Structure 1
Amino acid sequence: MAPYDDWNRIEEDEEEELQDVSWLEGKRDVILFCIDCSDGMLELYEDPEYEDAQTCHLYTALDAAMQIQKKKIIVGPTDQVGIMFFNTTRRGEKREQGSEIKKGTYLYQQIGPLNAASIQGLIKLLNTFREDNEFLRSEFPPVEGKYIAMGDVFTSANWILRDGAPKTATKRVFLITNQDDPHSGSEKKQLTTSARTTLVDLTQAGVVVEPFFISTDEHPFDVSKFYRDVLLPSNLVDDDEQTDPSDPSVTNESISISRIEDLLAQMRFHEVPKRAQFSVPFELGQDFIIGVKGYGLVTEQKKGAYRYFAETDDGIKVAESRTLYVNALNDKEIDKSKMLFGMDLGGDKDAVAQAGGKTSSRYDPSVMRLVKPGDRPFFNSEEVKKFRTLGLEPGIKLLGFKDSKSLQFEDNVKHSQFIYPDELSYAGSKRTFSALLQSLVTKKKIGLVRVLTRRNATPAFCAMIPQVEKSDEAGWSEPAGFHIIPLPFADDIRQAPIQKAHRAEKTLVEAAKPWIQKLTIKSGYPVDTYPNPALAYHNEQLQASAFREEYEPSDFDDQTKPAFDLMHKKIGNTIQTWKEELAKDESADIVAEPTTGNKRKADTSVDEAEIRAKYDDKTLNKLRVDQLKEFLKSRSLPVSGKKADLIERVTDHFDSR
């Protein structure tokens, strides 16, 4: 029989159908930078990197926006970026989109596809500030004596994204400010309520607001003054529960920048949008369903796909490719809906007739199509999809619970996914999800679930491991939710061979401990600090080519190279002491001889009863040549000639008996 994938592949060029249509269509990412232009953002201070130079928070925010665009034009050429300033008296001209937004806001860069010209214009703006530190203040003069309402900022951002961003894109707002209390006086309560209302409207339009708060030693940023009452909650807390307003976890995830140099690093971390891979119902019991969204926590970043361009009258455009199935007889396109899929059974027609010629009345013709003897069974695309999904609809079904200790390390053979409640699909999902999570954590249990995330996927049994919310000193937190780990089948796990080797002496082990402990990373491995060097080198070359800049390969900084000088400085003489002990160990000089694998010979032995059965059924031609020769050799008969000669000798042997 042919391999499964040869006949079970349906429309290779078609994306798998997902429950969450927004993830399928929203491949483009749109970022709108909302940057504060108040006096505090324009105040000059000594540049920590360059001597005898000054900078300001607005310059750093614009530099971060420029760096993000330079990176996105390589890794995400279909993404779009815009820049809006607020707390400025500059107004857009009538023909510009900026004239249609609220007073005190200015759209500097309209939302549109990334291109080198707009980024070079931003670079020119930054270079001009280096020559004249008052340039940004004169170009974007701040509003004197007051701050515009934050509700107007969110409203302007909503209008800009509504008119400029594609409807199916992932839309985000990067809010950058150093003002922790923009409103004061008798109108503060009213302006706070207005800001929260407009932020809710912005969120309901599918926009995610990610704030970046700039904090310095002279002016630490206090979220409790204003933004804690404005930002939306993001943790798993019931609406009726009493929460501590001083708890930072009750606000949306905000980034407090203690050093202005960290702004770009934090933006790069949040640069990739958090898209749900699936959105399915979670069945906890009979007619007891909540909604959940699934996310992939680890994704490998790869080089961008190649693109083909076609030269047209309107210029060079990206060529779209599509697959067509053509009839080889008349060269006409075939309708995909009429295509059938079948398995290659192999063998001759008589053998197929013997295997499938008998039918039974117990088969319901409405369920199973009867195939005539010698014909090949065919299935349409819907039937093949049912083979994959077993007729199930996408969703997660809770099957039961087990002790957390029952899950073994070797059970994790595939990467996990993370699920989070979806309140918009089913009301009350957040409350129910939180109750289930807390119950499993308290009882030290894990869940067993049946998971089908897509219509074209295959059902799988998974372990559901709870995770409580955790925060650290830096403000990063692990959200509360469940990890879905696919459980392996019995034949997915192999017993690894155990090879015993020489063990080091105790003195040698003790001598190795000091330098190993000094080289151990105790604070954890920061994954984002060490990018893929091959991918980074490739992207830097593309970036230099796009902006017509000279690139020196020798200037490339490989972050993954070990710091040998620092390592030798740390371990000192401890490594020399270990080497001296190693020289005294005689087992260190023993080299095991490499074992070469012997090719296993094919099993040619065959039982006489089996040969006799083939002889009686007249199916000796199904035996292999080596099996026929082995049988004839055991009977002291000649083994020369073709397969037909061998079969004839075997037949004569049994005829004579």
Structure 2
Amino acid sequence: MAAYDEWNRIDEDDDDELQDGAVFEGKRDVILFAIDCSDSMHAMHDDPMYEDVQTSHVLTALEAAIQVQKKKVFTGPNDAVGIMLFNTARTGESIGQGVEIKAGNFLYQPIETISAPKVQELIQLVEAARADPNYLRETFPPLQGNRVAMGDVFTSCNWIMRDGAPKTATKRVFLLTDEDNPHSGPGKDRLTTAARTTLVDLVQAGIVVEPFFISTDEKPFDVSRFYSSVLLPTNIIDDDEEAGVLPEALSITRIEDLLDQMKFREVPKRALFSVPFQLAENLVIGVKGYGLVTVQKKGVYKYFVDLGDRMELAESRTVWLQRGGKEVPKDALLSGMGLGEAAQGKKTQDHIDEEGGVTRVTAAGSKTFYTADEIRSFRTLGLEPQIKLLGFKDPDTLAFEDNVKHSYFIYPDEMAYSGSKRTFSALLKTMEKKKKIGLVLALMRRNATPVFCAMLPQAEQRTEEGIQTEPPGMHLIPLPFADDMRAVPEQFLDAERAPQDLTKKAALFVARLAVKGGYSPDSYPNPALEFHNAQLQASAFREEFDPETFEDLSLPKYDMIHERVGSMMKEWKEALLQDESATVVVAPTTSNRRKAKTEPGAASTSEAEVRRLYENSDLDKLKLDQLKDYLRSKGLSVTGKKADLVDRVSEWLDNHSG
């Protein structure tokens, strides 16, 4: 018989299975860089990273495009990136893609799957620009006179995406410019209206515009002059709230912060599920669910077939064969559990009751088999994917131990049901005002199990500068069932508790070592994963990889720690050594093993007791479990016979006699 999770798993070809991580593999991400090439973007200035080196905003934008593509080589090898330059006088056929675009725009790199040759070509362009400060200005000369209308820029982006991006991909445009008022001449109102209209066309085509506005001391960027009335707001708003106002935080005050800003917008916000949210009878809105925590792993190994002149990716699939080699159709497969030997020759029969229902009757001693639809009904209890509001509770009814799984974050989906944002906003504000949490029954996808969830409201929070720190929405915390909760082991209940004064001394240096501004996972990447990716990147671009240059950002800063709390930690350690309860070792017990009858105090051995026996040469009086527990507490090996353990304890005490 196959394992339980094997026979209970149903493959869904027709339904998009939204499982953590796996759903992202089949959906591609497409990014189109739209870079302004006006005179101000070509202007040279001192490079903030290197001394005696000149750079420009266009050069920095191209370097950012290189870094994004390099990262996607191993994080999203199926994704695609393109580069379009606007406000440039360069004309002629675009490279590799026969799409026609508006005048003043030039498609330098068409939308294609990430590949090392394309990235190396861009690297050569940047290296040539480093050697010759005027190279980019000569290669992509700025347009003289009037600027390109932003409506034409958005239209060109739409056409490029239409011809080059897959229909099911996540499509985004990274807009980089330092001009806050592109339509300063005559016809400003008409051009602004045209830009807003073409941007709506982009959004309807499933394309999101991610702006990166460059602001400097010499040329500050004011979003209220043009872009606040053009770019669409994405926050939850009511009719009485002001719409279309963008925060000033979109402006990049330092061009060297461009890469840091792109890190947060580089990964698309893909929804894990999109389901109806039933608030009451005949009252339904649409919501999308997002995973806030995702485990990042190494890429899956792939198999290739050597065809002599080329290597082809080997595709693997699983089929079931009958005796004779004939493939069994998928809909003909049945699943069952092997509960011992079943009698042969006894089959199931369908029994029709008085109401016309069909019941399958299985003879005694024979196996029962189920179809894929029946197993699905067992798991889903006949429910359709949705979130159903059951009621409201006080926040204090939610215990800390109820959070046993990663929560989901839901946000209204206006495209599914009109008025979802307004209704969701009213519910969110009312729950915040009355200090209530919701209780919902959620089925995230068709091939899932219904779960009860606590729904916590979260209001939007912004800093004084307008930077959003907390988005508005609801957190869905899956609540555990009774069999998900386990009792605390007995040895933990009987464990020694640290004295109050020792706890207070530890709290002093722990508070001073806290990370200011909160913990940011992007600031401390997984060192093993980063080291692996760095080697892959060097191999893909045929670069030499020096392990010594790899920087592990997760390593503690020992010098800073000793400088801040060195004396506090030393004082705490001295107090810890003087506390006798800290040296007590509790022997672990298991429920399926009979406890040996021991004398009082034999289950735990203090440091003082072991040293007393050591000084009297009576360590052999300790039992084997006590010797192992003592060695385990010192981080020493516990293998070998009792005599070996006694010698190991004696050797450790000889070296730590003080």
Q: How would you bin the TM-score normalised by the shorter chain? A: 0.7 to 0.9
Change in Cα spacing, 1:595 to 1:98, as seen in structure 2 (3 Å) is same
Indicate the residue corresponding to 2:328 in structure 1. 334
Give the one of 406, 417, 423 matched to 2:408: 417
Change in Cα spacing, 1:593 to 1:160, as seen in structure 2 (3 Å) is same
CA distance in 2, matches of 1:510, 1:312: 69
Indicate the residue corresponding to 2:484 in structure 1. 492
How many Å apart are 1:464 and its aligned residue?
Answer: 1.1
Indicate the residue corresponding to 1:587 in structure 2. 580
Q: What whole-Å deviation, never above 9, does each CA across 1:247-293 have from its counterpart, x for those lacking one?
A: 545x9xx7321221211121122111111111111111112111111
Indicate the residue corresponding to 1:298 in structure 2. 293
Indicate the residue corresponding to 1:637 in structure 2. none
Change in Cα spacing, 1:336 to 1:206, as seen in structure 2 (3 Å) is same
The answer to whether the 8 A contact 1:403-1:445 is kept is: yes
TM-score normalised by the chain length of structure 2: 0.83
Change in Cα spacing, 1:468 to 1:370, as seen in structure 2 (3 Å) is same
Indicate the residue corresponding to 2:604 in structure 1. none
Indicate the residue corresponding to 1:427 in structure 2. 418
How many Å apart are 1:490 and its aligned residue?
Answer: 1.6
Indicate the residue corresponding to 1:214 in structure 2. 214
Change in Cα spacing, 1:576 to 1:464, as seen in structure 2 (3 Å) is closer
The answer to whether the 8 A contact 2:408-2:477 is kept is: yes
Indicate the residue corresponding to 2:52 in structure 1. 52
The answer to whether the 8 A contact 1:47-1:54 is kept is: yes
CA distance in 2, matches of 1:149, 1:172: 20
Alignment coverage as a number of residue pairs: 589
Change in Cα spacing, 1:564 to 1:407, as seen in structure 2 (3 Å) is same
Change in Cα spacing, 1:3 to 1:510, as seen in structure 2 (3 Å) is closer
Q: Which moved more, 1:304-313 or 1:442-451?
A: 304-313
Indicate the residue corresponding to 1:554 in structure 2. 548
Change in Cα spacing, 1:15 to 1:530, as seen in structure 2 (3 Å) is farther
Q: Does 1:519 align with 2:519?
A: no
Indicate the residue corresponding to 1:272 in structure 2. 267
Q: Which moved more, 1:71-80 or 1:476-485?
A: 476-485
CA distance in 2, matches of 1:83, 1:203: 19
Give the one of 372, 378, 383 matched to 2:363: 372
Change in Cα spacing, 1:52 to 1:98, as seen in structure 2 (3 Å) is farther
How many Å apart are 1:450 and its aligned residue?
Answer: 1.0
CA distance in 2, matches of 1:342, 1:598: 33
The answer to whether the 8 A contact 2:99-2:163 is kept is: no
How many Å apart are 1:298 and its aligned residue?
Answer: 1.1
CA distance in 1, matches of 2:536, 2:93: 36
Structure 2: state its 5+ residue gaps: 596-658
Change in Cα spacing, 1:396 to 1:599, as seen in structure 2 (3 Å) is closer
CA distance in 1, matches of 2:178, 2:408: 36
- The alignment partner of 2:358 has SS state of coil
How many Å apart are 1:402 and its aligned residue?
Answer: 1.1
What letter is aligned with 1:136?
A: L
Q: Does 1:447 align with 2:438?
A: yes
The answer to whether the 8 A contact 1:18-1:455 is kept is: no
Indicate the residue corresponding to 2:240 in structure 1. 241
CA distance in 1, matches of 2:533, 2:396: 45
Q: What whole-Å deviation, never above 9, does each CA across 1:412-460 have from its counterpart, x for those lacking one?
A: 1111111111111111111111111111111111111111111111111
CA distance in 1, matches of 2:219, 2:385: 51
CA distance in 2, matches of 1:387, 1:589: 51
- The alignment partner of 2:498 has SS state of coil
How many Å apart are 1:18 and its aligned residue?
Answer: 5.7
The answer to whether the 8 A contact 1:397-1:450 is kept is: yes
The answer to whether the 8 A contact 2:99-2:160 is kept is: no
CA distance in 2, matches of 1:95, 1:212: 25
Indicate the residue corresponding to 1:74 in structure 2. 74
Which has the higher relative contact order, 1 or 2, with Cα contacts under 8 A spaced 6 or more apart?
Answer: 1
Change in Cα spacing, 1:580 to 1:242, as seen in structure 2 (3 Å) is closer
Indicate the residue corresponding to 1:86 in structure 2. 86
The answer to whether the 8 A contact 1:92-1:107 is kept is: no
What letter is aligned with 2:54?
A: Q
Change in Cα spacing, 1:401 to 1:598, as seen in structure 2 (3 Å) is closer
What letter is aligned with 1:590?
A: T
Indicate the residue corresponding to 2:525 in structure 1. 531
The answer to whether the 8 A contact 1:93-1:99 is kept is: no
CA distance in 1, matches of 2:252, 2:473: 27
CA distance in 2, matches of 1:233, 1:94: 33
CA distance in 2, matches of 1:418, 1:231: 25
- The alignment partner of 1:463 has SS state of strand
CA distance in 1, matches of 2:468, 2:182: 25
Q: What whole-Å deviation, never above 9, does each CA across 1:596-651 have from its counterpart, x for those lacking one?
A: 5475269xxxxxxxxxxxxxxxxxxxxxxxxxxxxxxxxxxxxxxxxxxxxxxxxx
How many Å apart are 1:587 and its aligned residue?
Answer: 2.5
What letter is aligned with 2:369?
A: F
The answer to whether the 8 A contact 2:342-2:367 is kept is: no
Structure 1: state its 5+ residue gaps: 603-657
The answer to whether the 8 A contact 2:453-2:476 is kept is: yes
CA distance in 2, matches of 1:332, 1:98: 47
The answer to whether the 8 A contact 2:95-2:107 is kept is: no
How many Å apart are 1:311 and its aligned residue?
Answer: 3.9
CA distance in 1, matches of 2:515, 2:479: 32
Change in Cα spacing, 1:574 to 1:453, as seen in structure 2 (3 Å) is closer
Q: Which moved more, 1:23-32 or 1:205-214?
A: 23-32
Q: Which moved more, 1:92-101 or 1:194-203?
A: 92-101
Q: Which moved more, 1:98-107 or 1:187-196?
A: 98-107
CA distance in 1, matches of 2:350, 2:13: 38
What letter is aligned with 2:451?
A: A
- The alignment partner of 2:446 has SS state of coil
The answer to whether the 8 A contact 2:81-2:111 is kept is: yes
Larger radius of gyration: 1
CA distance in 1, matches of 2:364, 2:217: 85
CA distance in 2, matches of 1:215, 1:588: 60
The answer to whether the 8 A contact 2:90-2:104 is kept is: yes
Change in Cα spacing, 1:374 to 1:96, as seen in structure 2 (3 Å) is closer
What letter is aligned with 1:489?
A: F
How many Å apart are 1:531 and its aligned residue?
Answer: 0.5
What letter is aligned with 1:525?
A: Y
What letter is aligned with 2:283?
A: F
Q: Does 1:475 align with 2:467?
A: yes
The answer to whether the 8 A contact 1:34-1:174 is kept is: yes
Change in Cα spacing, 1:359 to 1:316, as seen in structure 2 (3 Å) is closer
CA distance in 2, matches of 1:280, 1:516: 43
Change in Cα spacing, 1:348 to 1:556, as seen in structure 2 (3 Å) is same
CA distance in 1, matches of 2:557, 2:524: 13
What letter is aligned with 2:480?
A: P
What letter is aligned with 1:60?
A: T
